[in-house]
Amino acid sequence: MLTNALRSKGMARCAVFLLTVGLATLAGLALWSTRSTAQTTARVRALGEVTATWGQVFLDLGVENEALNDYLRAGSAEGRSPLTSALSSAGPHLEWLAAHGDAGDADELATFRDTYGAYTDTLRQLIAAGNAGDSGQVSALAQEVGLGAASLRKQVDATISRHQLELSDYLAEVDQANHRLQVASTVALTVDFLLLVLCAIILLSHQRRVERQAVESRHRALHDSLTGIGNRVLLGDRVEGALRLAERNAETVALLLLDLNRFKEINDTLGHHCGDLLLQEVASRLSGALRDSDTVARLGGDEFAVVLPDIGSTAEAREVAERLLAVLQCPADLDGTAVDVSGSIGVAVYPLDSRNSTELLQHADIAMYAAKRGHLGVAVYDMETAQRDLRQLSVLGELRRALDEHELVLHYQPKVYTGSGYTCGVEALVRWQHPQRGLLGPGEFIPLAEDSELIHPLTDYVLEAALDQHDRWRDEGVVLPLAVNVATQCLLADTFADRVAAALARHRAEPGHLTLEITESALIADPDRAAAVLATLRQLGVRLSIDDFGTGYASMAYLQRIPLDELKIDRCFITTLQSSHGNQAIVRAVLELAHALGLEVVAEGVEDGSTETALSDMGCDMAQGYHLSRPIPGPEVTAWLAAHPLHVPARVP
């Protein structure tokens, strides 16, 4: 409570204010003391001068009296001269007292001057009688002068005594005032000292708080607020320090970058609180598995970094990474929910892989993404792999531009009925008309697009281009059903069905003339969401097909839950159909299953006539492959149809 009070701003302001008042009071007392001393000195000096002047008057009277006595003893003219000189000697002093004395002196001077004037006149008469030789008169006047002198001395003595008493009383009053001033000064000084001590305590408290806040601010600046481990700033400092030490001592430094797998899924499903708990658990596990000299930091999101100074070799760095991954992969309890934890770690080593901290971080990041893409767990930076990834990133950047500048073109591969040979539709296949590299197949850029958000605008681009070509064929009198491939990411997007509906409306196309081909992996990734999107598409009237069937992991139960129209048997079973009894058995089983579920079947990869005949004999509905036609540009499709009649049966969506 007291500590909090001392830290409060109100207490600090109050203490400073009171100290200011106290110091001002002390200064006022000092000024008062100085003025009082000056006044006392002036008053004492004035009283002393007045008293001294009255004393001088007393001496003057004594001189006159001595001169009279000498005159009376001598009885000659020689004795008269000193007496004559002494006459009225007190006059100048009386004039001074009249000018500088107080009110009491004025009253006393009035009486004293009258008496002193009469005394002086009597002395003159005495001198005149002596000069006349009248000794009797001299004696009588001498007696009168003696009485006058005694009276004057008594008056002067009384006045001097009065002034001494007045000075004594004044000094007593001054002593009392000084005592009061001393007490007040002592109290003010004591209070000021206590206030000064209080201010010092408050100042020290604030200083300690500022220092503590500075330490805390520095800690916050260098550490992650959620996990308590280092952040990106601390990581940079530690990496720079480790590299300087490594360069000086010819040592090796390793940097590990770790990214959690499926963190977004955990965060979205269980909530951000559980996501934070998982990050704290991961930070604790990593910190507990490292040396004191190692540094673990959170770079942001679900990405962590570990600095390993003086690691020895790349093999040792990899061993540490694998050990960390093993520690990390233990299940974590998040508020009663057990979740599996896994991650991908990239390793880069200085000076083998990098020349500075920037390259070390960049190369560790490249290795981490290589581990994540390849599901490797741990990957060490490899220059050749990095250069390939760099080329892929370059291709991905060019792909963005290609979409904006419409460099992507569609070729169409016809599908035919195996029994009659009639054309029943085409599959739209995207190509890239690269300005420098020429025509690129989908394998050059589709996988890169699927690893990025570009797959969404790319799919929309292909759908728009295919429907636009469908419009032109329709204007030429050809109603040609077409199929478009859909990536898993697009199928799981909530807005995909709306985008398809909008595209069909813009091109006034019949939904039944559009088939969307999906892969089995789309069904495995999120079956419930995929089923919901496919149901919406089916309600639009769009036909649905599973592409590359047989190579994925789709459960047979999905074929009943999901509204499908078609299965496409993967080419790996078709290209060796004639030479592989196993493939023949698989194809027959797929045909029986599909037909039992009311689905049509398309065989991909038909490369020769004998395979087409075998498929027809097995009851396969449609075929597609180089034996029938290579993918051809849209304007050439109508010419191809002249030799291969089109037959579009009525379909009920």
**Cβ-contact 278, 263 below 8 angstroms:** yes
Averaged pLDDT, 490-498: 86
Three-class SS of residue 305?
Answer: strand
Q: How is residue 229 annotated by DSSP?
A: S
Question: Average pLDDT in the 384-404 region?
Answer: 72
Residue among 25, 437, 15 at smallest CA distance from 195: 15
pLDDT tens digits along 451-461: 778 889 999 99
Tokens encoding 613: 């005949």
For residues 172-179, average pLDDT: 85
| Amino acid 514: pLDDT | 95
The band of 6, judged by pLDDT with boundaries at 50, 70 and 90, is: low
> Would the pLDDT of 524 be above 70?
no
Q: Give the pLDDT band of residue 91 (cuts 50, 70, 90).
A: confident
Structural domains for the chain? 2-211 (1.20.1440.210), 232-381 (3.30.70.270), 393-643 (3.20.20.450)
Over 60: is that where the pLDDT of 448 sits? yes
Whether residue 165 is predicted with pLDDT greater than 50 in this model: the reply is yes
Q: In this predicted structure, what is the pLDDT of residue 431?
A: 93
Q: Bigger pLDDT: 164 or 414?
A: 414
Q: How far apart are CA 363 and CA 576, in angstroms?
A: 43
Q: Band of the pLDDT at 652, cuts 50, 70, 90?
A: very low
pLDDT, average across residues 515-532: 76
pLDDT in tens, 224-248: 888 888 888 888 898 899 889 888 8
What does the pLDDT look like over 262-293, one tens digit per residue?
A: 888 787 778 888 888 888 888 899 888 888 88
In this structure, the chain runs to a length of 653
Average pLDDT over residues 214-231: 81
The one-letter code for the residue type at 522 is A
| Phi, psi values for residue 353, rounded to 5° | -100, -20
Does pLDDT of 619 surpass 80? Answer: yes
Look at 57-66, 411-420, 542-551 and tell me which has the smallest mean pLDDT.
Answer: 57-66
Residue 507 has pLDDT above 90, yes or no: yes
Triad 415, 416, 418: Cα angle to 5°: 135
* Greatest Cα-to-Cα distance within the chain, rounded to the nearest angstrom: 195
The whole-number average pLDDT for the span 182-211 is: 81
Q: Is the peptide bond before 457 cis (omega within 30 degrees of 0)?
A: no
Tokens describing residue 404:
């904006």
Q: Using one digit for the tens of pLDDT, what is the confidence trace for 531-590?
A: 888 889 999 999 999 888 876 555 566 677 778 899 998 888 998 888 888 889 999 999
Name the pLDDT band for 34 (thresholds 50, 70, 90): confident
| Residue of 357, 382, 376, 368 whose CA lies nearest to 295 | 357
pLDDT-based confidence at residue 649 (cuts at 50, 70, 90): low
Residues 223, 224, 230, 231: what is their CA dihedral angle, to the nearest 10 degrees?
A: -100
How far is the C-alpha of 12 from the C-alpha of 4, rounded, in Å?
Answer: 11
Please name the residues in contact with 6: beta carbons below 8 A apart, sequence gap of 6 or more.
Answer: 201, 202, 205
At residue 223, does pLDDT exceed 80?
yes
Cα separation, 347 vs 206, whole angstroms: 46
Predicted confidence at residue 653, as pLDDT, reads 39
When pLDDT is cut at 50, 70 and 90, the band that residue 506 belongs to is very high
Mean pLDDT of the chain: 83
- For residue 167, is pLDDT > 50? yes
Mean pLDDT of 314-341: 86
> Per-residue pLDDT averaged across 441-465, rounded?
86
φ, ψ of residue 135 to 5 degrees: the values are -70, -35
Q: Give the model confidence (pLDDT) of 332-388 as tens digits.
A: 888 878 888 889 999 999 988 778 888 888 888 888 888 887 788 899 887 766 566
The rounded percent of the chain whose pLDDT value lies above 90 is 22
- Beta-carbon-side half-sphere exposure of residue 583 (alpha carbons within 13 Å): 17
Two tokens at 244?
């300087």
